[in-house]
Structure formats: C-alpha cells, structure tokens
C-alpha cells in the first residue's frame, strides 16, 4: 500500500543551512484510500521519521507545503503548443506580473485554461531553501512542493477561504491563490466582491472553512467581512480536523489543481531500488574521508616542496657569497660539492676552517623553527681571525638568538652584534668562530 506524507512547516521558519533540526511541522500521513493514519501539529522531522520507522513504512511519498504567499500566481497567454517553445516564452509572458527581476525567479508551469497557462513564480534562492528542507528524509521521497493555499478545493464561483490560526488561505474560481493575515480580510472584501467578468451579480459566494475554534474566534471578523460591501454571501464550513489534513483531503480527491514547484532546475529523479541504497550513508562518509585525506596529502606535499625550494635557494645564495667564482655548482649538486670540500678540509688541517664553520652554521639554520623568516644578506670569512661573519636579517630577535644558541650548543663561539630593530624584525651581525 502506498502512503503520502504531507508536511507543512510551522512558523517561525528555520533556515535549512543554519538550524534545520529546529523546524517544526504540521503533518498528516495518508494511505492509498485517503484516510489519515497518523498526524501531528508541531513535531520535529526526527519525530516524524521515527513514526514512519516504527510502522515499518518505506518509500513514502512526501509532499511539502510552503506558505502560499511565497509563490505568486500568474497567467501566461502563450499561443505555442510545444513544451519547449512554451518554456522559452514563459519569462516574457509573466514578467510584468512579477515585482522582481525575472532572472532571479523560478517559474513552474501549471495546466492550461481558457484564460492561459497557470504559472507559479517564486524567488529562486528561496525555492532552493524550501527544496532542501523537504529533501533527504528517511523512509520518504520528495514527490512535490506546493503553495499550501493552492490545495484548497476549487470554487465553482466566488472564493474559498480557510482560516488558519492568525492567517487565512484564499483561492478564487479561476485558481489563483493567496495567503494573508486574517485581520486584513475586510480590506480585501472589495476585491473579493468584484466578479471575475463584466457580468453583474447580486452576491458573491464565499465558502469559509476553519476549525470550530478558529470560526468562533473570528465571528467579529466574519461579520465585518460580510458587511463591508454587502455582496459577499459567506457560508461557514466547520472542519473536524486540522488545516493540513483538510488540504491533504482536498488533494487526494482531486478538488484542486496545484502547481508542483519542483520543475526545471528543481526537478528530481525518481529513486529506483538499488542494492547499494542501504550502504549510501557509509559510502558517503568514506568518500568524504578519502577526499579530505587526499587534500591533506596534496597540501602537505605542496608545502614541503615550497619549503625545499626555499631552502635550496637560500643555500645557493650562501654558497655564492662564499665562493663567488664558482659558477658550475647548482642546487642539484651543491650538497655533493660541499661534502667534497669538507673531506678535503679534513685532510688539510685548519686552513679551511671556513668550510667547518659554514657546515655547522648551515646545520643550525636548517633546524631553526620558522627558518623562512631568517635571511643571510652576506657572508665573510677572516682567515687570520678564524671568524665567519654573517650579516643576517630575521623577523624577530628571538630567531637570531635561537641561531646563536644552537651554534653555542655545538661547541662554537657565536656572538650577535650591531643589532638594529626594524619594522619588519631585526638585523644584526653573527660572528662564529671555533670554541
């Protein structure tokens, strides 16, 4: 047996992106014969889903009902018959009936009438939020989204009004819908009393639906509505159930011709049975984790490559300062060249102390946290004093101190002199000699 779940958000309306779990719904679960099997007036999505699960219901068709004032009713006089040409001409046919930029509006095409095509127009971003609110429910698949007032029973003549707490849902005999504050109904009485054609009528019938409580609470309003023009003949029709259930009943018995807003960019594909369906949540989590892991690996690889290139560039700068005449050495072989020179230095005694000092200074530089914030501007070596003098610039004096302390821990004598504080950090002269 097939079931339909009618869900209607209760004000205040929550943003699906910010707090979807905070939204409450009025709802009714309807079986294939149109009988209500379960209902609620202010329940969370989780509660409704649990109800479906407890009753072992699967593949329930979900119908979302949005406030009627969210979508505007339009009539489009389009002579074309083919759907493709109708869709192309639709924006131009209703543009003057819509107050906002037509490019920001989603248009849903309804049935054709002698007056033209019925059209529902809604802000595209707002439609996306409503579509998201009704999507992804457990045990239920979205079938349609309708303006709630469009599900009222169509009137053969006059108007149909349904009191809904402080609001009122309206629909005319030509199918146009409206939602407004109930207190403003008398202000609309002149429009309600105007016939849809040039004919002169003595009375305009108005079918007024509502629960006993809503009808009793609005007696003064009804009297004011009747007496505003004297042309409205109001017939009260008490409801024995909620407004949401009344709209679902009207829909089941085909008493209305609503326009499904899930068209075009907001259309959906029917879900078929798939052996992978129970595993979709796990697959989604695994896929997300894989994407995150790959992103981290790629990001770390790029960062390490950039660091390596920066260190190579700084190493070559130091080497060029020390050996300006050597033009054959490059970043690819500088390590091998220096290691060779160190081996030569070891066999020749103290005449090449420069290589030793450069070795330890370079090692401490590579171990320095945030070494990219330290730059060697010039390197000089005094053979007579056995001193390596480096003009160094850092983003803070602490980095200079860390470099000096690291050299001292290696048994070398390191001093920082001529320190100048700058806006971008500190500049000084590092003197390194044997301990």
Better-scored residue on pLDDT, 86 or 14:
86
- Whether the predicted pLDDT of 44 surpasses 90: yes
* Helical packing angle, 353-367 and 280-322, nearest 10°: 160
Region of poorest pLDDT, from 87-101, 185-199, 293-307: 185-199
- Considering the domain architecture, whether residues 320 and 253 belong to the same structural domain is answered as no
Is residue 209 in some structural domain? Answer: yes
- Whether the predicted pLDDT of 327 surpasses 70: no
User: Residue 322's pLDDT band (boundaries 50, 70, 90)?
Assistant: low
335-388 pLDDT tens trace:
666 665 555 444 444 444 677 777 777 777 777 776 667 777 788 877 778 888
- Considering the domain architecture, whether residues 250 and 388 belong to the same structural domain is answered as no
Q: By C-alpha distance, which of 406, 384, 356, 315 is closest to 430? A: 406
- Contact at 8 Å (CB) between 318 and 374? no
Better-scored residue on pLDDT, 165 or 228:
165
Cα–Cα distance for residue pair 141/37, rounded to 1 Å: 18
- Contact at 8 Å (CB) between 41 and 246? no
Give the pLDDT confidence score for residue 193 in this predicted structure: 65
If you search the block for the tokens 């001093």, which residue do you land on? Answer: 415
User: Residue 276's pLDDT band (boundaries 50, 70, 90)?
Assistant: low
Mean pLDDT of 211-238: 83
In 4-59, which ranges are E strands? Answer: 4-10, 24-30, 36-44
Mean pLDDT of 312-323: 72
| Residues 6 or more apart whose Cβ sits within 8 Å of residue 266 | 106, 127, 128, 131, 145
Of the residues 229, 244, 272, which one is the last residue of a structural domain? Answer: 272
- Considering the domain architecture, whether residues 336 and 263 belong to the same structural domain is answered as no
Is residue 367 in some structural domain? Answer: yes
- Contact at 8 Å (CB) between 38 and 51? yes
Is residue 66 in some structural domain? Answer: yes
Give the pLDDT confidence score for residue 301 in this predicted structure: 77
- Considering the domain architecture, whether residues 316 and 244 belong to the same structural domain is answered as no
- Considering the domain architecture, whether residues 221 and 295 belong to the same structural domain is answered as no
**Domain count within the chain:** 2
Give the pLDDT confidence score for residue 352 in this predicted structure: 42
Give the pLDDT confidence score for residue 201 in this predicted structure: 59
- Considering the domain architecture, whether residues 51 and 13 belong to the same structural domain is answered as yes
User: Residue 9's pLDDT band (boundaries 50, 70, 90)?
Assistant: very high
User: Residue 66's pLDDT band (boundaries 50, 70, 90)?
Assistant: very high
- 202-215 as b/e: b if 16+ CB within 10 A: eebbbbbbbbeebb
**DSSP label at residue 70:** G
Find out whether the peptide bond into 12 is cis, omega within 30 degrees of 0.
yes
Strongest mean pLDDT among 265-274, 348-357, 385-394: 385-394
- Considering the domain architecture, whether residues 131 and 231 belong to the same structural domain is answered as yes
- Considering the domain architecture, whether residues 417 and 324 belong to the same structural domain is answered as yes
- Considering the domain architecture, whether residues 206 and 338 belong to the same structural domain is answered as no
**Residue numbers of the domain that contains 14:** 4-272
Is residue 244 in some structural domain? Answer: yes
Better-scored residue on pLDDT, 144 or 410:
144
Residue 380 belongs to domain with CATH number: 3.30.1360.100
Residue 379 token pair: 């390197």
- Considering the domain architecture, whether residues 97 and 213 belong to the same structural domain is answered as yes
Model pTM greater than 0.75?
Answer: no
The percent of residues above 70 in pLDDT, for the chain, comes to 85
Better-scored residue on pLDDT, 212 or 417:
212
User: Residue 64's pLDDT band (boundaries 50, 70, 90)?
Assistant: very high
Residue 258 token pair: 């609503």
- Whether the predicted pLDDT of 431 surpasses 90: no
Strongest mean pLDDT among 225-234, 286-295, 304-313: 286-295
Is residue 49 in some structural domain? Answer: yes
- Considering the domain architecture, whether residues 31 and 155 belong to the same structural domain is answered as yes
């Amino acid at each position: 047996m097939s079931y339909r779940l009618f869900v209607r958000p209760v004000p205040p309306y929550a943003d699906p992106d910010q707090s979807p779990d905070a939204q409450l719904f009025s709802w009714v679960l309807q079986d294939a014969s149109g009988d209500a099997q379960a209902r609620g007036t202010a329940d969370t999505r989780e509660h409704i889903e649990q109800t479906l699960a407890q009753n072992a219901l699967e593949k329930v068709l979900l119908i979302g009902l949005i406030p009627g004032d969210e979508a505007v009713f339009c009539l489009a006089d389009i002579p074309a018959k083919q759907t493709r040409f109708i869709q192309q001409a639709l924006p131009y046919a209703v543009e003057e009936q819509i107050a906002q930029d037509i490019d920001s509006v989603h248009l849903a095409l309804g049935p054709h009438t002698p007056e033209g095509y019925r059209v529902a127009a809604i802000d595209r971003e707002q439609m996306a939020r409503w579509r998201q609110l009704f999507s992804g429910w457990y045990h239920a698949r979205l079938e349609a989204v309708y303006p709630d007032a469009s599900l009222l029973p169509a009137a053969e003549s006059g108007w149909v009004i349904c009191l809904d707490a402080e609001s009122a849902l309206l629909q005319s005999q030509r199918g146009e819908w409206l939602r407004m504050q109930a207190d403003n109904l008398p202000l609309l009485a002149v429009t309600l009393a105007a016939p849809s054609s040039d004919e002169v009528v003595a009375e305009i019938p108005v079918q007024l639906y509502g629960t006993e409580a809503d009808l009793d609470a609005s007696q003064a309003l009804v009297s004011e509505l009747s007496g505003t023009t004297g042309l409205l003949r109001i017939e009260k029709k008490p409801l024995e159930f909620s407004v949401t259930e009344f709209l679902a009943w009207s829909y089941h018995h085909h008493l209305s011709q609503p326009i499904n807003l899930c068209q075009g960019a907001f259309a959906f594909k029917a879900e078929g049975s798939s052996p992978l369906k129970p595993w979709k949540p796990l697959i989604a989590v695994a896929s997300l984790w894989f994407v995150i892991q790959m992103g981290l690996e790629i990001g770390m690889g790029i960062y390490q490559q950039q660091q390596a290139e920066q260190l190579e560039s700084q190493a070559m700068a130091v080497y060029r300062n020390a050996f300006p005449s050597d033009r054959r050495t490059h970043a690819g072989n500088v390590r091998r060249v220096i290691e060779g020179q160190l081996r030569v230095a070891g066999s020749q005694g103290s005449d090449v102390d420069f290589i030793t000092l450069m070795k330890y200074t370079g090692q401490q530089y590579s171990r320095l946290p945030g070494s990219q914030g330290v730059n060697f501007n010039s390197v000089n070596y005094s053979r007579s004093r056995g001193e390596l003098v480096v003009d160094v610039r850092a983003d803070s004096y602490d980095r200079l101190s860390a470099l000096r302390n690291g050299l001292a821990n290696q048994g070398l004598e390191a001093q920082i002199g001529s320190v100048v504080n700058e806006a971008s950090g500190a500049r000084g002269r590092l003197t390194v000699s044997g301990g």
